[in-house]
Amino acid sequence: MFAFLYNPDRFMAFSRWGAPLFGVLAVLLGAAGLWLDFAAPPDYQQGYTIHIMFIHVPASMLSLFVYLCLGVASFLGLVFRQPLAEAAARAAAPLGAGLTFLALITGSLWGKPMWGTWWVWDARLTSELVLLLFYLGYMALQAAIDDEARAARACAILALVGVVNLPIVVFSVDWWNTLHQGSTLFAKGGPAMAPVYLPPFFLMILAYTSAFGSLWLVRIRGEVWRRRANVLAVRAAR
Amino acid sequence: MSGFGVLFRRELALSWGKGGGPLLAVSFYAAMATLLPLATGPAPDKLAIVAPGSAWLALALASLLSLERLFERDYEDGALDLLSLGSTPLEAVAFAKCLAQWITTGAPLALAAPIASIALGASPSLSGLIAFTALVGGLGFSFCGGIGAALSIGSRRGGVLIAVIVLPLFAPPVIFGAGAIEAYAAGLDWKTGLLLLSAYSLAAVGLGPFAMAAACRNALS
């Protein structure tokens, strides 16, 4: 699927235009989404705090999606020994950690007026927190091993273990405690969200996705440049 | 005697004798159980509520202790290189290591767990279940922990790194184990938690060695 991107030169040629393109797209979609959001009337129950939803829910969706990207990139890097996939996995982790952190912070800010508390040990909050711990462990392992190729493969193994373990964590904390409202978007019998909020909501999800795409490409490009610089430095030192 | 048998006896002797073995883990466990009433206050009714859960928390932390030496020792003195060249596959080596780890630290901890829980005020009728869940959970802790130990071979700060990597993996067994005990104490259905805990531990036993062997090969490459 991504075969044409395996070649670093072709990837650099693609991402040179792709990264700014996604960035502009993210800004446009985000601006449209926020404009529609603030044009919509306040929620009849939640009042103006409904605006937090447009920041919070896409961040939490993306935090899981990024882990999926990390897992796929790790798999490609580990099994097919694709250096570019290793770079992609390495580049995705801090972005995922940032999105997870954003989801937790905005959720906490939303929880205070709605549930009357900053934090509850509810299933979905806890699995998001465990996800953050996964990202942090991944980044810690990466930083602790000096040899880059070895660090990349060790991290790939950890990411794959995490991919297996994450659904179990989600199931276990679900079994443990559930208070969070269920998904309103993928509810039975269509979305349970007021129709006026749906367009800005989808726009925000798309905006987050393209922002992630843009930042990811930029970070992978940075990885590629850094490796080339390392090679040149080694060559110059001879 | 087969290669695996010899290896298993070696691991058993090493983890029983060197580096404190079961005594270290049980002492750490006792110290954790002592600190708990000091931190929460000694009121028996308050302690009794958290006793089974905190027994499980201490168990998870105590089983982290000896993980650092699990692969690092053999890596440093070159034994891991020899083991990787031998006819016994690295998967079996990892399996033997974790099994020995479980027998020498997990089993003594499982015996200590009901004593600590009763001292903290849990009902003595829970003892059997606490010991059994600790034994089954310890198996999962050993094999999940082994993955963290194998991944951090040769890194600069082994112990803390293993804890950061492994603690998310410890979340499900802690939930299932403590949940089963809590349900039993409340007279609810406790078998579900126990079965889920056993399933997690068995999956760790089945899949963990492959991840560990891959991590060892990577560290030796």
The pLDDT confidence band at residue A191, using thresholds 50, 70 and 90, is low
Q: What pLDDT does residue A75 have?
A: 92
Q: Is residue A106 situated within a structural domain?
A: yes
Residue of A nearest to B215 (CA): A154
Residues 6+ apart with CB under 8 A from A118: A108, A111, A112
Confidence of residue A184 (pLDDT cuts 50, 70, 90): low
Alpha-carbon gap, residue B14 to A192, rounded angstroms: 60
pLDDT band of residue A185 (cuts 50, 70, 90) is: low
**Does residue A10 lie in a domain region?**
no
Distance from the B192 Cα atom to the nearest Cα atom in chain A, whole angstroms? 10
Task: Count structural domains, chain A.
Answer: 1
In chain B, whose CA is at the least distance from the CA of A163? B169
CB burial string A81-95: b at 16+ within 10 A, e below: ebebbbbbbbbbbbb
Q: What ipTM was estimated for this complex? A: 0.83
Asked if A54 and A206 count as a contact pair (C-beta separation under 8 A), the reply is no
CB contact under 8 A, A157 and B156: no
| Residue scoring higher pLDDT (A234 or A49) | A234
State the burial class of residue B61 (Cβ atoms within 10 Å of its Cβ: 0-12, 13-18, 19+).
middle
Q: Find chain B residues with C-beta within 8 A of A130's C-beta.
A: 168, 171
Q: Which residues of A touch B205 (CB under 8 A)?
A: none
CB contact under 8 A, A165 and B151: no
For residue B167, give the chain A residue with the closest CA.
A133
DSSP state of A120: -
A207-225 tens-digit pLDDT: 999 999 999 999 999 988 9
Residue A18's pLDDT is what? 86
Interface test with chain A among B144, B152, B155, by most A beta carbons within 10 Å: B155
* pLDDT value for A118: 78
* Per-residue confidence (pLDDT) for residue B11, from 0 to 100: 84
Give me the mean pLDDT over the A90-99 stretch.
Answer: 93
Q: With CA atoms as reference, report the closest residue to B130 among B141, B114, B146, B151.
A: B114
Q: Measuring CA to CA, which residue among B178, B183, B169 is closest to residue B133?
A: B178
The pTM (predicted TM-score) of the whole model is 0.85
Question: What is the reported pLDDT for B27?
Answer: 86
Alpha-carbon separation of residue A233 from A9, A12, A91, A145, A228 (angstroms): 20, 21, 22, 20, 9
For position B200, what pLDDT does the model report? Answer: 92
Average pLDDT, whole number, for chain A? Answer: 83
Tell me the sheet residues that pair with A43: A47
Residues of B with CB below 8 A from A121's CB? none
pLDDT tens string for chain B (221 positions)? Answer: 588 888 888 888 888 876 667 888 888 888 888 888 888 777 877 787 777 777 888 888 888 887 888 888 888 888 888 888 888 888 999 999 999 989 888 888 888 888 888 888 778 888 888 889 999 999 999 999 999 999 988 887 777 888 888 988 998 898 888 888 888 887 888 888 889 999 999 999 999 999 999 999 888 88
Token pair belonging to B120: 């903290």
Question: Does a structural domain hold residue A40?
Answer: no
Q: Which domain holds residue A106?
A: 53-180+195-237
- A20 in a structural domain: no
Instruction: Decide if A89 contacts A73 (C-beta within 8 A).
Output: yes
- Main-chain phi, psi angles of B174, to 5 degrees: -65, -45
- The answer to whether position A94 is within a domain reads yes
* Chain A residues touching B200 at Cβ < 8 A: 168
Rounded Cα–Cα distance for residues A231 and A224 (Å): 11
pLDDT at A17 over 70: yes
A33 touches chain B (CB under 8 A): no
Alpha carbons A103 and B175: distance in angstroms, whole number: 24
Q: What is the dihedral of CA B186, B171, A176, B203, to 10 degrees?
A: -90
Closest Cα in chain B, distance from residue A89 (Å):
17
